[in-house]
Structure 1
Amino acid sequence: MSEEAGEFDHKAFLGSLTTGPGVYRMLSAQGDILYVGKARNLKRRVASYFRKNHDSPKTRALMVQVERVEVTVTHTETEALILENNLIKAHRPRYNVLMRDDKSYPYIHLSGHTYPRLSFYRGTRREKGRFFGPYPSVASARAAISELQKLFKLRPCTDSFFRNRSRPCLQYQINRCTAPCVAYISAEEYARDVENAMLFLEGRNQDVIDRLIARMETASEALAFEKAAELRDQVARLRQAQARQYVTGDQGDFDVLAVARHGDIFCVAIIYIRGGRNLGSKTFFPRVSMDHEEREVLAAFLPQYYLDRDAPREIITAHAVPDAAVLEATLSEKAGHKIGIRHRVRGDRARWLKMAAENASQAVASRLATDRHARQALDALAEALGLEEPPRRMECFDISHTSGESTVASCVVFEEGAPASQDYRRFNMRGETGGDDYAAMGEALERRYTRLQKGEGRLPDLLLIDGGRGQLSVAERVMEDLQVDGVTLLGVAKGQDRRAGQEQLFLSGRKAPLILPPDSPALKLIQRIRDEAHRFAIAGHRHRRSRSRRSSPLEAIPGLGPKRRQQLLKAFGGLQGIRQAGVEDLAAVKGISRALAQRIYDEFRLE
């Protein structure tokens, strides 16, 4: 920090400062913003930085680099808080606590149609209908939608898909939809299911159960025992769902935040409670460049997080937050109703706070155990593809065959950037796909995601297809047919010379291919997943091909057991003799009927 003549004179500068509220910016000699802060009293706050002795190492490190200070005077502390938040997000100063800014959070959307659609939604909530959430992650929103489909069987399909149906789709067949597209349910009865679903999403589970029990008793009195049994089963599923949701006795909407630390790694954990229901949790790892206390990190995190999204009526924190009253007033004015920030709680709220602290500690431990390069690659991949958050679970498909023989599709799974080999799957293609890679890819995807839609596994965040735009189109069609929502699709095509580093990436919804630099961590991760899928497919194909070539063609003929095969081989001296024999010759062997002889003859003619 220079005080030479002609340069920044902090004494004269401090003498000119107002005692009102505002925002100050610490700048380096190159003009880079090092730190942004707000103050109720600008003169007092900025002057505190220019004392000779500072107890805080972070302040000493900052002031060594500060060349000048700029201020913006505001009318109120609320304006200062908002401006500070905007400047931090715009410039991302080195010495501020910075959170990774997810652009939007997933919601569950019930559309405003006669037969409302239940769907995953992300973005500005301008569509007609009701929104429920926000959910902390795509996985938690998908899990809630899956639960709702099991319980209330609302349609998940798009409007165009719904309008053009002439028969029920897979969702009806697996008992996840009542097929309103073909009028298998009346509008009145469907509306009743929609109302129950909304009550369930609002946390009013017992109201839904009471309604269903009343309907069950009415059906029983009317001797409609099949309907009564259906309602009884629905009540049982609701009670199971209620037991899994950790429903609190308080039906309020609130977020619970706690901070954990290990060295220079800080984690903020949030648990989302809506209508008394636990929607799940999310963890953040803000960038902290200097020594901070947990409460300082939490105080910096709160405005960056809540000023750009809808806040619940209550925010519960593990530590007292400085200037909480200013943030409360700002959030309340923005929301149009009172929002409170509390840290002293009892009962259910205290238990949630303890759970949030445990989540934060566990997340820090997991992060320390996770390979740093894998985290960097996932972050780079999210940035390259424009994803809201790094893809935690990824699947990749590849096809392998020799001129159409023994076609095998592979599915490899990566969790947190590492192979999850226990989730790998292979699909032996049926004969009709032959050497058609598109047909084989479609069959493999359909078989895989039909099972996942039935609840036999977890959907990925990112699905990679080894191939270009054609294979990607096949994947898009299958996902549309199965009504799989919220999965990002990416085709990975080899470059012109089929050399590593020249891959073209075809992202669903984007016309032009994406080409990443050869040294990009994101590209290297994609190559690793693609190569693993390729290796797994080739291994499966070779194994299947060797098995088929080792086996005798006689083994594939129905009705020809081991004893009859031995008699044939003995009578004709081996396969070559059987292959050259006619139907009459074959039928002359003991135990071989004319019909069986014809099948044996036909089998060798088809080779």
Structure 2
Amino acid sequence: MDKPTLEIQLKTLPNQPGVYQYYDASGTIIYVGKAKNLKKRVSSYFTKTHEQGKTRVLVKKIADIKHIVVDSETDALLLENNLIKKYQPRYNVLLKDDKSYPWICIKKERFPRVFSTRRVIKDGSDYFGPYTSVKTVHTLLDLIKGLYSLRTCNYDLSEDKVNSGKYKVCLEYHLGNCKGPCEGYETEEEYQTNIQDIKEILKGNFKDSLSQFRNQMKQLAVEMRFEEAQKVKEKIEILENYQAKSTIVNPKISNVDVFSIVSDESYGYINFLQISYGSIIRSHTLEIKKKLDETDLELLELAITEIRQRFHSKSREIYVPFKVDIGEDIKVTVPQLGDKKHILDLSVRNAKYYRMERFKQIKITDPDRHANRIMAQMKVDLRLHEEPRHIECFDNSNIQGTNPVAACVVFKNGKPSKKDYRHFNIKTVEGPDDFASMEEVVYRRYKRLLEENQPLPQLIIIDGGKGQLSSALKSLDALNLRGKIAIIGIAKRLEELFYPNDPIPLYLDKKSETLKVIQFLRNEAHRFGIEHHRNKRSKNAINTELETIPGIGEKTIVELLKKFKSAKRVANAKLDELEDVVGASRASKIYNYYHEK
């Protein structure tokens, strides 16, 4: 498939945080950047006049743009750091590993120490982070130190050495900062309980800790130690605003390939994230055209083999959304919870964004393919016998029972065909009777089409529930068209779709394109009907009692009826309500007219 041009790529970028990668004509990555909003940031390279010569040269060399969507700006910052180190693009400042981000380590040892480090060592210790701010690390460590008494020495506190009396308590014990595990004054069980609480804080689950801080702050205030209470309050605020988790890096997840799939009737989109030493170092999405209605399982197995060969992956474990069979040498994991599931979800999001961008690109470059796909999807979603290339939607408009009208809007190939829109003035129905009005307009519409030998639609949509649908069916029966045209009703409240002779409504996914087309039709019909209703009501407005009020003209009457819907409501309106619509002078005339009567 042809690669979309830069212009189309720019138009279809998401308004999400993430990392963008620029490639030159030879496919070499030349720049990596982060963005709070990918579309705005990347577009700025091509719309601004750059003062720096290097930036102008960079823009001239860009031949392709790729991106990875993430959850937050912090994640984008961390991922940018990883990718720059991995690929060392020509136009990026080179980053060295000794400048990597800080972590908090809970050492794997008896009576564990808790400290900050920039080196992640695979020795079984627990690492939390990375953190983009050293200040955050110090704040957390200070908070932990203020809450829990932990040792800071690097002694080997094995059971034998402690029992033999090898160590003596130091100044930290006498200051109350340590409970003296080196002399056996604190048991291992007590210490480990504190460590578990600390792990919860570092994971972001610090409800109990916050409660302790608040009690501490209140006690300090009672004792009139206000400066200390203020310091505790500041720590509480920092904790409340702090988010501990990062989906980008986890040192326990190493040398893993992550695959996810999103598909529709014609294509499958498989996203691949490569995890190396706890970091995402690559994201790629593969588009596969279906030939024989292949399942997601078949497409995913095919894509995994292709992608792993293409990128020479040697990973022995993969994360996937469901079980796949790609050989006995590969460990297949289907994550359900935690960081592994977070990374799989991130892969799914990238596949979905890629699919949406392809749709937008195709809509620009190949509108016929876009229409064909929408029509095929609607046929499946709505359980139709044929694609709804020609759809008509009906809506009744009456306000306070005056000037009842109806509208019929027409869509062809999923797009409005405004020259075919029609208005109807209700002729045979007295008062606001939606059911009878619907029966009349549907009958008139298709009787006319049959008489003029015009093409009939494949689908009729009635804006309303079972009642309006039943009324429309009566008209189709009278014209002998039932079964020849598919017809459904859409209820306003929960977007239920009703079918003839089926008491159970159909619910479509709120994000499905089929529902969006139906909502567009319904909204167009409502807009078109209301517009005609207003015009008709405005023409009849001067026939109301309002016309007899001295100094009140036609435009004022129209404004009043738009706001209050009827002359009776105008008569009962308060003076300030009238002033909001027509101003003080005319409001006084109207108010005095009715109240003097």
Higher relative contact order (CA 8 A, sep 6+): 1
Structure of greater Rg? 2
- TM-score w.r.t. the length of structure 1 is 0.30
- TM-score w.r.t. the length of structure 2 is 0.30
